[in-house]
Amino acid sequence: MQIQYVLEVCGTGFFAISGSLAANDKAQPDWFGASFIGFITSIGGGSLRDILLGCYPLVWVHDINFIFAVIFGVILSSIFFKILIRLRRTFFLFDTIGIAMFTIVGTEKAISFGVHPMIAAIMGMFSAVMGGVIRDVLTNEIPIIFKKEIYATACLAGAICYLLLDHFGLERNVNFLLSAAIIISIRIIAVKKNLSLPKFIKGD
Amino acid sequence: MQIQYVLEVCGTGFFAISGSLAANDKAQPDWFGASFIGFITSIGGGSLRDILLGCYPLVWVHDINFIFAVIFGVILSSIFFKILIRLRRTFFLFDTIGIAMFTIVGTEKAISFGVHPMIAAIMGMFSAVMGGVIRDVLTNEIPIIFKKEIYATACLAGAICYLLLDHFGLERNVNFLLSAAIIISIRIIAVKKNLSLPKFIKGD
Amino acid sequence: MQIQYVLEVCGTGFFAISGSLAANDKAQPDWFGASFIGFITSIGGGSLRDILLGCYPLVWVHDINFIFAVIFGVILSSIFFKILIRLRRTFFLFDTIGIAMFTIVGTEKAISFGVHPMIAAIMGMFSAVMGGVIRDVLTNEIPIIFKKEIYATACLAGAICYLLLDHFGLERNVNFLLSAAIIISIRIIAVKKNLSLPKFIKGD
């Protein structure tokens, strides 16, 4: 569990970087605004999952380390803004690792609340992507998860995979790594090959 | 109660259809995006009501049938997209029946939590319309309930009517049907006669 | 406590005025829409704080006076619309008093839940500003707190000040007044001198 905790705190920091960088494009926020958007991006998904599950206290409300991770991420992204923008490829990797981890952690947490596996998969996916959705809504963008190359779908696939392997008795840590790897692989292949899901409605 | 449960699940499916059709206009979502918007539209109002009341577990979190209803609705709206668009008149009826039912179910649930009747009416109205509000926010539209022909107001009127008749001892099932009929009538008359509430500020 | 309760109810009314006036600019809502936006603006921040803390029942859900304050505020802002618009300077003062009070009340409430002081300051700031953020999202604007002259930052500063003085044993009511005065002063100076925080990213 120790390692997962460290990963979760790091993931929160990465999402804060991603949030405060993205925030800058359209809203042109001041320092407070960028931190605020970074904060919401990184804790939004997990908070929504916990609120929907009725799982109190929320993880960042009783553990100040998550706040430190956000602050650290925002400061880093301000100081190294130009470098980080140039490192988009590396950065894409961090984001992908982040969503993979958040998906599995969220799915596990939901399962421990005794919900149906299909609900647990949705909760896992929510943990990973809803922070970004809230960020997009706040900055007045149409959430990218509605059209971007296979993104939330990869999370959903990884969550389902985790649940299936768990059902068949795979050891928890092996399963964690394997399912996260599946999410990361799907996402990387989708971006490299420019794959996306079919539009809901063809024509016009 | 059995019948109300069936109605609630069906209503969820109808709202999923409405959500995924509406989603298509501006955001041009892929399959995942349309399902996501359909899901949010159909479970958003009830979830918000339950979160505000502190009523856990949320109905769809512990009952997988609601998820099946959403999936079924989304698939239907993809397959029969053209027909459904042509059937807007019929569809309008489904939506109207949906909000009528959700309003009364939501009002009842809030009352059972011991809140003031005025709060219960607000909760009933929230159940019916907030899914659509969240959908509009996600697709970057100004929520239609702010200007559309009497929509949320019809829900509020029906909820108040339900509470009054309940106060005077009308039998619950009769009251349910009567109050739902009032919502449906107000909504249909408003659309046919093109009625709307006065603008908040006249002039300019 | 009595006085703080009165202040909180009054603050809710002021926020309802602020919300329904602001709503009119872009969304051109009807009467229902303006009331709805006024309602969300005034109860949104406190509701979010309570939901994040898991503090049930929400204050307005079990106390009808808050609803009356909202209704009263909306009616006032409709009747006296032109006067209120002309009184923007006075109005600015009301809004500033409102956020000052909500910040301290929110911070206190969070502390009474045993959270870390830094989280309490965030919760206090959320109480004051998140209603306005939700209002901006609903009316399809980029939330002003991302760029406006020092606004949410003033709340955060006041909350931190309150917590520090509390730590050093200052009497609660004196502290309440002093910290609120600090928020009000920062905000007034920022507006008069046209101060704002530095942009997150300089250049381009």
Integer angstrom CA distances of residue A202 from A148, B5, B28, B78: 17, 35, 10, 10
Give the nearest partner residue to B199 out of C30, C60, C62, using CB atoms: C30
CA geometry: angle C183, C195, C77, nearest 5 deg: 60
Give the nearest partner residue to B67 out of A119, A141, A198, using CB atoms: A119
> What ipTM describes this predicted complex?
0.88
Q: Which residues of chain C have pLDDT under 70?
A: 1-2, 23-27, 88-90, 147-149, 201-204
Q: Around Cβ B86, how many Cβ atoms within 10 Å? A: 11
Confidence band, pLDDT 50/70/90 cuts, at residue B155: very high
| Inter-chain CB proximity A152 and B32 less than 8 Å | yes
Which A residues 61-120 touch C at CB under 8 Å? Answer: 61-62, 64, 67, 78, 81
Q: What is the mean pLDDT of residues A65-93?
A: 83
Q: What is the C-alpha separation between C53 and C48, in angstroms, rounded?
A: 8
Give the nearest partner residue to B197 out of C30, C81, C139, using CB atoms: C30
Percent of chain A with pLDDT over 70: 91
Rounded to the nearest angstrom, the minimum Cα separation between C202 and chain A is: 10
Q: What is the C-alpha separation between B177 and B184, in angstroms, rounded?
A: 10
Per the model's pLDDT, the better-predicted residue between B202 and C155 turns out to be C155
Confidence band, pLDDT 50/70/90 cuts, at residue B204: very low
Please report residues of B whose CB lies closer than 8 A to that of C139: 142
Query: Which of B30, B55, B67, B68 is most worth mutating to test chain A (most A CB atoms within 10 A of its CB)?
Result: B30
Terminal-to-terminal C-alpha distance of chain A: 51
- Please list, in sequence order, all residues whose beta carbon lies within 8 angstroms of the beta carbon of residue A45, skipping any fewer than 6 positions away: A102, A106, A126, A127, A128, A129, A130, A131, A132
- What kind and span of H or E run contains B181? helix B172-192
Residue of C46, C24, C43, C45 lying closest to C33 (CA atoms): C24
Q: Over 70: is that where the pLDDT of A27 sits?
A: no
Rounded to the nearest angstrom, the minimum Cα separation between A160 and chain B is: 15
Rounded to the nearest angstrom, the minimum Cα separation between B117 and chain C is: 9
Residue B55, both tokens: 């009523």
With an 8 Å Cβ cutoff, is B140 touching chain C?
A: yes
Quick check: A115 and B61 in contact, CB under 8 A?
yes
Residue B108, both tokens: 């009842």
Percent of chain A with pLDDT over 90: 44
Summarised one tens digit per residue, pLDDT across range A55-72 is: 999 989 989 999 999 999
Predicted local distance difference test score (pLDDT) of residue B24: 62
Summarised one tens digit per residue, pLDDT across range B5-64 is: 887 888 898 888 888 877 666 667 788 888 888 899 899 999 999 999 999 999 899 899
For helices B31-53 and C31-53, angle between their N-to-C axes, nearest 10 degrees:
80
For helices C2-27 and C117-138, angle between their N-to-C axes, nearest 10 degrees:
30
Q: What is the mean pLDDT of residues B96-112?
A: 91
Predicted local distance difference test score (pLDDT) of residue C204: 44
Rounded to the nearest angstrom, the minimum Cα separation between C129 and chain B is: 19
Q: Which residue of A has its CA nearest to B27?
A: A142
Quick check: A170 and A85 in contact, CB under 8 A?
no
Integer angstrom CA distances of residue A44 from A50, A114, B135, B190, C201: 10, 23, 18, 39, 23
